[in-house]
Structures are given as C-alpha cells and as structure tokens.
Amino acid sequence: MHWLKIHLANLFGKDKMSHDERIAFVEENKAKIMAAADDPIPAAFLNDEPGAVRPWWLDADSPWQALAACIEYTDAVRSPDPAAYISHLHIHQDGTCNGLQHYAAMGRDSKGAHEVNLATSDRPQDVYSGILRVAERYVNEDAELGVEEALQLKNRLTRKIVKQTVMTNVYGVTLMGAKEQIIARLREVKDENGAHVFDIMNLSKLALYLAKKIFASLGEMFTQAQETQNWLNESARRISSSMTRAALADTIKMAADARKSSARLRTAVKQAKAAGETLDCDEVLELWPDLGPGAMRRKRLDTLADKPMTPVAWTTPLGMTVLQPYRKMVTRRVATNLQNINVHDVNMPAQINSQKQKTAFPPNFVHSLDASHMVLSAIECKVAGLVFASVHDSYWTHACDVDKMNSILREQFVKMHKQPIMANVKAEFEQRYSDHMVPIVVWDYV
C-alpha cells in the first residue's frame, strides 16, 4: 500500500513532496479517490447538467493513469487484507533529468549531484525550479539596468517555461532549438482574463534572450557538466576532421598526379594548336586517364579522398561499440522533359558531416550510458525475479517489489559509474585514432 499511495500522489503532481507528505495527501483525499473509482464519469457531468461537478481525477497531471491508480487503491482498501492484496498496477520510478545525473556522476560533481537527487536529501530536489531561480536572478539584474526583454519577463517566468529547455540541453538542443521551445511556452502565458501576456511580434526576441539566460544558469549550476560536454564536443570535432596517415599520403599523391596530368594535357593542347591540329579522345585519355568512362564518379571519389572521412566511435560500459553514421547527402541531378530533379544517391560514398558528428556526440554518448544502465538493471531485475519494464529513465514494477527495484537501480548506477568512464573514452580515442591527423591547408603567398 505504501508505494501504491506514493504512485497515486505522484500522478497528481505531488512528486516533489516527501514520502510522508504524499501519503498524507492520499489519506486526506481518500473519499475522492474511492468516489472516482466507483463512478469515474458521473452522468450529470457527462450530460453537462447545470451544477455538475467536474470529476476530481481529471485534474491530475496524468488523468487516465491516475484513474487506474484510484481503482487499484480502492480495490486494495476494500479487500479483506489490503497489505496482502495482489496488485497488477505498475509503479513508476523516474530519474531526475537523467542526462544531468550521468554528467554529475561522470564529473564527480557533488554540487550537481545534489541538484539531481544523487545525494541524500529529506525531499526530492527540483532541478527545474533551481534553474528558474538562477534565471530569474539574471533577469532581475538586467531589469535594473533597463534591458527591454528583462523588463517584459520580470516576475512572469515559471517552471514550465524553463523545463523543456533544461531537459533537452544535455541532449544537444541548440540555442535556436531552445528559442523555439520557449516561444511555444510563452504563447501559453495568459492573464486572468485569458488574454496573451506577451506580444506575438516580440516572442522571438524574448525567447532568444531567455534561452541565453537558461543556458547561462545551467552553466552556473552544472559547471562540471558543461566542461564535460565541451570536451566531448571538441573531441568529436577533431576526430571527424581527421584522416589516417596513409589516407593523407594517398591524397597528397593523388593531387600531385592530377596536377601532372593536367600540365601534360595543357602542354599537348598548346603544341597541337600551334601545329594546327587537334587531339583525339584516345590521346586525351592517354594524357589524363581520369577523364574516361566513370569520370564523374572518380571525380567524386577524388573529392572525398581530399576530405576527412572519420566517424566518431566509442565503446559503452556494456562493451558495445557505437558508431555515428552522420554523413552529408550526395545528390544527383536527373533531367526530365518537365524539369531537373535532384535525388539522393545512396550508392555514392559520402563525406562525413563534421558538424553533425560534433553536436550529436554528447547526447548520443549520454544516451548510451542511459541504455547501459537500463540493460544492467533489467538483467539484475530478471535475476531477482522481478516483473520489470522501462521507458528511457522511467522504471516500472509492482508495488511489492519497488524497494527491491530501487536498490537494484542504485546499485547498477553506482557500479557503472565506479568505472572511470571519461578516462576510458579518452584512452579509447587515443588508441583508436592514434594514426589519424587533421589536414591543414597551407597557403603560399608570393
């Protein structure tokens, strides 16, 4: 019954209270809970009769899940022995901004760990409210200086406005992406009369300003996480801009051969022109073979050889190798009677997309840690005989097994992060890319 009550309170948005407060909430609303289970949608409300009361469970954060929990709780209470009632409802245990939890653990960041509930506390910490407080401080400071955007946003920021940007920051959201998220949230802000608070023409400017303040707030609260993310970004940039020594030597030789062939052809053309003659195809191909059949494909391959083609790869704590597939699209123009159509040529080798390799690596790396922790936890839950399910960082089991599952989740998280994850990935990069070099263009000025 303990975890069933806590689950029910969580579904009504009470997940930031202490366990005792959540249980007290359920006890105080016991009559409403049982009434919802007995008659979820009263006929008066369904028929929209005057004076009909809106069902209480509809005000929950997750109404239909809350109704299922109300029914399960009511059945348990009315059973001969509630403590022995066999519940089939899955109880959810959610991580707190899971990406930041992994960053805090990797960086051994005690301050950040406290903010995302990796440290002991009387009640759950709310990282979104913490970021909100820092962002409000920045806005208030700017308002005192007369900054227009700050004056409009002062005293109007809410947890909901900053939540999505904080949640997605560790998964690679860009400044422009964060701006779009905040625009959507600012459109929802209305006054007591239901009118929009912010002028729609100013939303873009306000959202960009606030996005920068939220990013700055994250940097202040999670300094170590930001430094780790920057290191991962820079590592991916260098790797995806590199090529092996052998490939670099081949590229230099290829460029030299092309220059020689071009010079021979130019000389032959001049001599033929001086003699009043022309070169036939066989003579041209003999001087520059690359102009023959398949020249377009060879030209494309030669261009690729001049470009770095190294994707970022790493090994997860499970021992699984992950390779980022991001490459630039190769297009081919197809001429028709009506128009020219550009189509993606999947058969043509494509150049690595260095920008995408760089920006995607930190979120992909953290996701690989998420997945590793989930698999390790699932294996241990199976060994312990628990019914287990999960979606990303939300783990589910029956009420009677929540304590055991909680222990397993924490044990596997600690076990995984006892490994020197950052040192391991650094050593792997040094070994995997030890023969790689970053080409540098040197300009000769005459």
Q: Which residues are catalytic?
A: 94, 163, 393
Cβ–Cβ under 8 Å, residues 57 and 66: yes
Measuring CA to CA, which residue among 148, 143, 215 is closest to residue 178?
215
In angstroms, the Cα distances linking 358 to 40, 303, 354, 430 are 51, 22, 6, 17
List the Cα angle 404/363/101 in 5-degree steps: 35
Structure token pair of residue 172? 């690679």
C-alpha torsion 378→383→384→388, nearest 10:
30
Q: Which residues, listed in sequence order, are joined to residue 397 by a DSSP beta bridge?
A: 91
3-state secondary structure of 421: helix
Number of residues that this document lists for the chain:
446
| Nearby residues of 253 by Cβ (< 8 Å), 6 or more positions away | none
How far apart CA 376 and CA 91 sit, in angstroms, is: 20
Q: How far apart are CA 186 and CA 149, in angstroms?
A: 13
- CB-based contact 288:264 (threshold 8 Å): yes
Q: What's the CA angle centered on 321, arms 320 and 325, to 5 degrees?
A: 135
CA atoms within 13 A on the CB side of 392: 8
- For residue 315, which of 229, 411, 432 has the smallest C-alpha distance? 432
- The DSSP code sequence of 157-174 is --HHHHHHHHHHHTTT--
Q: Contact 399/3 with Cβ under 8 angstroms?
A: yes
Q: Which contiguous run of DSSP H or E holds residue 394?
A: strand 394-398
Buried b (16+ CB within 10 A) or exposed e, 367-402: bbbbbbbbbbbbebbeeeebebebeebebbbbbbbb
Helices (H), 222-244: 223-240
Question: Which residues, at least 6 apart from 329, have a Cβ–Cβ distance to it below 8 Å?
Answer: 344, 350
